[in-house]
């Protein structure tokens, strides 16, 4: 036995994951790698966890460092490694518009440094790594849990650098690993809480800001699906699988098995926000070009990189993941079942009020 070492705290996913792990294991001791600039946020997150789970303050310690640094910037990496039995690597730069050099530094070199630290942990039993379903890149059709390198290219540097990071984990055969590939993460299915208005929130934010009967584009044919999953499903799934010995060496798709099409999603969001728009067809190429124009982007409030996800046809096979999670009584709700909670939170919380640290 030993301590759990986690990156990505006090991010939204990391904080919620720790809450679930602490609740499941009253003896769990955790060391969180925290950047100095997030000290106050980390302390606040720890205090909040302690309110819900007594004793957490003494079971969660901080190690100040950064994944982009050699030995994670830890003054005594070897000493800490001797205490660590498990690693959860969540820290990443989640940004579709990220420059390649920054994505390489954080997502790829950061993961390489975490793997280097893992090799120092003589008592390591496993490393759980959070990738993304979008390592599928340009691949069209079905992409399964067992698929990885299929000759795909990438729509942006986020996808590419997360692919390269997952490749590092896969190639580290000496480290027993579990890989999680979440789709687009949205708010909590019960409370609607989120830390950042991106993904479908770009569309919601635009719709909310526009008057009724304003022209709103229909990009592409509208038949491509958009894979959205609530944060609580991601956390519950990872918490359950992180203690399963049978999970080691496997990849899990944390995706919606029945996603909505772009047209269905767009119509549903407009209806939920009480909006009516004048739809007009727009090709992906024109949409990308338009969103690079300042005044247009100011109106529609979304980066040009989002357009690719309106027209790229990929479906994520997750039957093997669903079978394993079924043993833990965990399944993904239909989007329509929790959308009202997302809308309520969105309407009552300004973007400036959000935590802003996704992972």
Calpha distance 338→340 (Å, rounded): 6
What secondary structure letter does DSSP report for 140?
-
> For residue 296, what pLDDT is reported?
86
Q: What does the alpha-carbon distance between residue 198 and residue 205 come to, in Å, rounded to a whole number? A: 9
Q: Which residue bears the tokens 């010995």?
A: 245
So where are the chain's domains?
Answer: 3-185+228-254, 190-226+259-313+339-350
> Which numeric CATH code is attached to 3-185+228-254?
3.40.50.720
Same topology between domain 3-185+228-254 and domain 190-226+259-313+339-350:
no
What is the token pair recorded at 61?
A: 């310690």
Q: Rounded to whole angstroms, how far apart are CA atoms 130 and 357?
A: 16
pLDDT tens digit sequence for 24-55: 999 999 999 999 999 999 999 999 999 989 88
The residue length of the chain stands at 359
Q: In this structure, are residues 189 and 253 in contact, taking their beta carbons and an 8 Å threshold?
A: no
Alpha-carbon span 168 to 239, nearest angstrom: 23
Per-residue pLDDT of the chain (359 residues; tens, 9 = 90+): 799 999 999 999 999 999 999 999 999 999 999 999 999 999 999 999 999 898 899 999 999 999 999 999 999 999 999 999 999 999 999 999 899 999 999 999 999 999 999 999 999 999 999 999 999 999 999 999 999 999 999 999 999 999 999 999 999 999 999 999 999 999 999 999 999 999 999 999 999 999 999 989 889 999 999 999 999 999 999 999 999 989 999 999 999 999 999 999 999 999 999 999 998 899 999 999 999 898 888 887 788 889 999 999 999 999 999 999 999 999 999 999 999 999 999 999 988 888 766 56
Report how far residue 257's alpha carbon sits from residue 262's, in angstroms, rounded to the nearest whole number. Answer: 15
In angstroms, the first-to-last Cα distance of the chain is 26
Parallel, antiparallel or unpaired: strands 126-130 and 177-182: parallel
* Backbone torsions φ then ψ of 157, nearest 5 degrees: -75, -20
**For 109-145, b where at least 16 C-beta lie within 10 A, e where not — what string?**
bbbbbbbebbebbeebebbbbbbbbbbbbebeeebbb
**What's the topology of domain 190-226+259-313+339-350?**
UDP-galactose 4-epimerase; domain 1 (3.90.25)
Q: Can you read off the two tokens belonging to residue 336? A: 């329509």
259-262-266-272 Cα dihedral, nearest 10 degrees: -10
Task: Return the structure tokens found at 3.
Answer: 């301590």
């Amino acid at each position: 036995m030993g301590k759990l070492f986690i990156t990505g705290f006090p991010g939204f996913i990391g904080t919620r994951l720790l809450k679930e792990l602490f609740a499941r294991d009253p003896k769990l001791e955790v060391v969180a790698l925290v950047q100095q600039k997030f000290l106050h946020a980390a302390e606040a997150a720890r205090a909040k966890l302690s309110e819900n789970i007594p004793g957490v303050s003494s079971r969660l310690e901080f190690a100040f460092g950064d994944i982009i640094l050699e030995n994670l910037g830890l003054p005594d990496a070897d000493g800490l490694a001797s205490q660590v039995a498990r690693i959860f690597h969540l820290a990443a730069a989640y940004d579709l518009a990220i420059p390649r050099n920054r994505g390489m530094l954080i997502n790829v070199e950061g993961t390489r440094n975490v793997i280097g630290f893992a090799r120092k942990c003589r008592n390591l039993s496993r490393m759980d790594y959070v990738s993304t379903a979008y390592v599928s890149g340009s691949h069209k059709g079905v992409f399964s849990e067992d698929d990885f390198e299929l000759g795909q290219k990438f729509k942006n540097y986020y996808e590419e650098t997360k692919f390269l990071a997952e490749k590092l984990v896969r190639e580290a055969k000496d480290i027993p690993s579990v890989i999680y590939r979440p789709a687009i993460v949205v708010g909590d299915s019960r409370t609607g809480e989120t830390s950042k208005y991106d993904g479908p929130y770009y569309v919601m934010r635009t719709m909310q800001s526009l008057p009724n009967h304003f022209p709103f584009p229909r990009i592409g044919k509208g038949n491509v699906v958009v894979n959205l999953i609530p944060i609580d499903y991601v956390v519950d799934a990872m918490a359950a699988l992180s203690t399963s010995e049978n999970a080691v060496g496997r990849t899990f798709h944390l995706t919606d098995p029945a996603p909505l099409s772009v047209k269905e999603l767009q119509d549903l969001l407009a209806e939920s926000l009480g909006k009516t728009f004048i739809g007009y067809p727009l090709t992906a190429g024109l949409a990308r070009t338009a969103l690079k124009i300042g005044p247009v982007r100011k109106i529609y409030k979304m980066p040009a990189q989002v357009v690719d996800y309106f027209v790229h046809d990929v479906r994520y096979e997750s039957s093997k993941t669903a079978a394993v999670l079924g043993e833990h009584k965990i399944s993904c709700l239909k989007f329509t079942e929790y959308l009202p909670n997302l809308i309520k939170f969105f309407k009552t919380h300004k973007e400036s009020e959000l935590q802003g640290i996704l992972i």
